[in-house]
Amino acid sequence: MKLASLSLGLIIAATSAALAQPPAAAPAAPPAPPALTADSKAPVVKGKELTKNPVAFITENGATKVVRGPDALKAPKDATVIQTELFPLAGVNYTRITIPKGKSFNAPKGGDSMVYVLKGKVKVKLGTVTADLGEGDAWRKLGPQDNTYTAVSEVVILETSAPATK
């Protein structure tokens, strides 16, 4: 009887261990970020640590050219120049974007993002949908979609990445 119980116990343990193993074809998961605990120092980004980067949208021969950094400040007067400030926080980037009143630009295509209006009013065209948004409003920018932002008043928005759509 003891031998049967021991054999059954070994079979159950071996089966449990086999079931706990990921399938051989499963890709390895990326390493998890360090866990925050009650004793952890909260991750913070101070204003002096921000990466500030002006961005200019210049139209030349009907095509839009994007220029970043010091060269953006040398853009022609009819260009749309916005100020971006990058907050790298715990593996996620948040970008504060300031758009001057009356300026408009097509948001660069790429990854999906979530956008929140901190200050001012903006008209957004997201694919075929148009909306007038103000402080406290938000929208989702889909990476492959055409998105146009027009500042009705000076507007400050906060953008961060979002899970990709399929």
Q: With respect to residue 138, please indicate whether it lies within any of the assigned structural domains.
A: yes
Q: What is the pLDDT of residue 17?
A: 45
Q: With respect to residue 69, please indicate whether it lies within any of the assigned structural domains.
A: yes
With 0-12 CB in 10 A as exposed, 13-18 as middle and 19+ as buried, what is 83? middle
Q: With respect to residue 15, please indicate whether it lies within any of the assigned structural domains.
A: no
| SS3 (DSSP) at 19 | helix
Residue range(s) defining the domain that contains residue 97:
48-161
Evaluate the CA torsion angle 103, 108, 109, 114 in order and state its sign: negative
Q: With respect to residue 124, please indicate whether it lies within any of the assigned structural domains.
A: yes
Q: With respect to residue 96, please indicate whether it lies within any of the assigned structural domains.
A: yes
Q: With respect to residue 56, please indicate whether it lies within any of the assigned structural domains.
A: yes
Q: Which amino acid is at 166?
A: K
* Residue 121 neighbours by CB under 8 Å, 6+ apart: 132, 133, 134, 151, 152, 153, 155
Evaluate the CA torsion angle 54, 73, 130, 117 in order and state its sign: positive
Q: What is the pLDDT of residue 39?
A: 61
Q: What is the pTM (predicted TM-score) of this model?
A: 0.69
Report yes or no: 107 and 128 within 8 Å, Cβ to Cβ.
Answer: no
Tens digit of pLDDT per residue, the chain (166 long)? 444 443 434 344 444 444 444 444 545 555 555 565 666 556 677 777 788 889 998 888 888 888 999 999 999 988 999 999 988 777 778 899 999 999 998 888 888 899 999 999 999 999 899 999 999 999 998 888 889 999 999 999 999 987 766 6
Q: With respect to residue 3, please indicate whether it lies within any of the assigned structural domains.
A: no
Domains identified in the chain, total number: 1
Q: What is the pLDDT of residue 88?
A: 79
Q: What is the pLDDT of residue 15?
A: 43
* Residue 95 neighbours by CB under 8 Å, 6+ apart: 84, 85, 86, 87, 158, 159, 160
For residue 29, which phi and psi values (nearest 5 degrees)? -75, 145
Q: With respect to residue 147, please indicate whether it lies within any of the assigned structural domains.
A: yes
Which CATH number does the domain housing residue 86 bear? Answer: 2.60.120.10
Give Rg (Cα) of the chain: 25
Q: What is the pLDDT of residue 87?
A: 82
